[in-house]
């Protein structure tokens, strides 16, 4: 017979095993991608699938030569950072005034901003495409920076707003009484206090920009194409390419995956518009 304590421990062990099993199943595609990236093409295509093989770095060493990886990676970096900085530049003053100079319209305004995210991208694809064509911005980094800034702006404003809301108003009022201008108030007092929150907002925005794949596929072809588009170009079969595809995918996802792991707690807040902390 099991004592109560023993049966509790057994139950806990079984639940833990189940949780590990679920996690391994969900993670398996990523694990398999990384594993395949170290195989030769022959091993990658072998049946039954190979778990043990002689690893090779060949796929990684030839990525640059085969698909000009750095060109696309640079586009991803420039576009993601550009859009993130621009949206923060717009969002910081807006969030400041909503958090510290609240009026009766503030809540309505916040919800309205959120509602602009409800406009599905496909609904405005055609005009954006034609406007971009008209202004000769198709396949330019500038265009993607502008589009990403606008699609992420509501989320960035919301997230910064919820961080600002946690800061006691007295601190800013003290600065104001000391004669600080609004600009000094934001830059000298508010930003240093809120830098943690702003950093996580940046991280969330970077992740969203890096992984965006609707506008990048429709508005770029080669010049400004980021990594999402490079990977999409692998969709047409070109002989044995499983291992190469895995290598390029692993490289494209690794930085964001690590960002995500580091900032999971803070992301929840941004992604739920401050509703879950």
**Which residue, 54 or 264, has its beta carbon nearer to other proteins?**
264
> Cis peptide before 48, with omega less than 30 degrees from 0?
yes
Stretch of 66-74, 114-122, 135-143, 196-204 contacting other proteins, by CB under 8 A: 114-122
- DSSP character at residue 49: P
**Which residue, 17 or 174, has its beta carbon nearer to other proteins?**
17
190-205 b/e (C-beta count within 10 Å ≥ 16 → b): beebbeebbebbbbbb
Q: Counting contacts by CB under 8 A, is residue 94 touching other proteins?
A: yes
Cβ atoms 227, 252 nearer than 8 A:
yes
Indicate the SS3 state at residue 43. Answer: helix
How far is residue 275's CA from residue 58's CA, in Å, rounded to a whole number? 47
Q: Counting contacts by CB under 8 A, is residue 91 touching other proteins?
A: yes
**Which residue, 52 or 261, has its beta carbon nearer to other proteins?**
261
Q: Binding to other proteins (CB under 8 A): which residues in 148-207?
A: 150, 153-154, 157, 162, 165, 182, 207
Establish how many alpha carbons lie within 13 A of residue 17's alpha carbon, considering only the half-sphere containing its beta carbon.
6
How far is residue 235's CA from residue 8's CA, in Å, rounded to a whole number? 50
Stretch of 43-51, 59-67, 137-145, 194-202 contacting other proteins, by CB under 8 A: 43-51
**Alpha helix segments (H runs only) across the chain:** 4-36, 41-45, 58-61, 63-67, 69-100, 106-116, 121-134, 141-165, 169-177, 182-184, 191-193, 195-211, 215-219, 227-232, 242-262, 264-271
Q: Binding to other proteins (CB under 8 A): which residues in 214-273?
A: 214, 217-218, 227-229, 231-232, 234-235, 242, 245-246, 249, 252-253, 256-257, 259-261, 264-265, 267-268, 271-273
How far is residue 248's CA from residue 242's CA, in Å, rounded to a whole number? 10
Stretch of 56-64, 66-74, 107-115, 195-203 contacting other proteins, by CB under 8 A: 107-115
In angstroms and rounded to an integer, the radius of gyration of the C-alpha atoms of the chain is: 24
Q: Counting contacts by CB under 8 A, is residue 13 touching other proteins?
A: yes
Q: Counting contacts by CB under 8 A, is residue 30 touching other proteins?
A: yes
Q: Counting contacts by CB under 8 A, is residue 277 touching other proteins?
A: yes
If phi > 0 it is left, if psi is from -120 to 50 it is alpha, else beta; for residue 54 that is beta
Closest approach of Cβ 70 to other proteins, in Å? 17
Q: How many CB atoms lie within 10 A of CB 29?
A: 9
Q: Counting contacts by CB under 8 A, is residue 67 touching other proteins?
A: no
Q: Counting contacts by CB under 8 A, is residue 22 touching other proteins?
A: yes
Q: Counting contacts by CB under 8 A, is residue 71 touching other proteins?
A: no
Q: Counting contacts by CB under 8 A, is residue 60 touching other proteins?
A: no
**Which residue, 15 or 61, has its beta carbon nearer to other proteins?**
15
Closest approach of Cβ 192 to other proteins, in Å? 19
Size of the site for other proteins (CB under 8 A): 103
Closest approach of Cβ 137 to other proteins, in Å? 14
Q: Counting contacts by CB under 8 A, is residue 19 touching other proteins?
A: yes
């Amino acid at each position: 017979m099991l004592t109560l304590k023993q049966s509790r421990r057994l139950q806990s062990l079984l639940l833990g095993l189940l949780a590990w099993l679920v996690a391994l199943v969900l993670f398996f595609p990523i694990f398999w991608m990384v594993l395949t990236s170290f195989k030769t093409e022959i091993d990658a295509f072998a049946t039954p699938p190979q778990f043990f093989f002689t690893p090779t770095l060949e796929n990684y060493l030839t990525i640059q030569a085969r698909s000009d990886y750095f060109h696309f990676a640079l586009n991803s970096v420039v576009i993601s950072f550009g859009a993130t900085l621009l949206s923060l530049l717009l969002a910081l003053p807006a969030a400041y005034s909503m958090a510290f100079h609240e009026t009766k319209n503030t809540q309505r305004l916040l919800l309205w901003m959120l509602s602009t995210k409800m406009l599905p991208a496909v609904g405005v694809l055609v005009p954006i495409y034609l406007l971009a064509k008209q202004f000769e911005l198709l396949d330019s980094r500038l265009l993607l920076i502008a589009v990403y800034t606008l699609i992420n702006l509501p989320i960035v404003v919301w997230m910064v707003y919820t961080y600002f809301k946690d800061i006691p108003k007295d601190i800013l009022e003290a600065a104001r009484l000391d004669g600080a201008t609004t600009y000094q108030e934001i830059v000298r007092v508010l930003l240093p206090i809120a830098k943690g929150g702003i950093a996580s907002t940046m991280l969330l925005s970077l992740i969203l920009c890096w992984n965006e794949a609707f506008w990048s596929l429709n508005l770029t072809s080669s010049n400004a194409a980021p990594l999402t588009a490079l990977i999409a170009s692998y969709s047409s079969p070109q002989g044995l390419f499983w291992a190469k595809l895995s290598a390029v995918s692993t490289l494209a996802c690794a930085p964001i995956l690590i960002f995500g792991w580091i900032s999971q707690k803070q992301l929840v807040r941004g992604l739920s518009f401050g509703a879950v902390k």
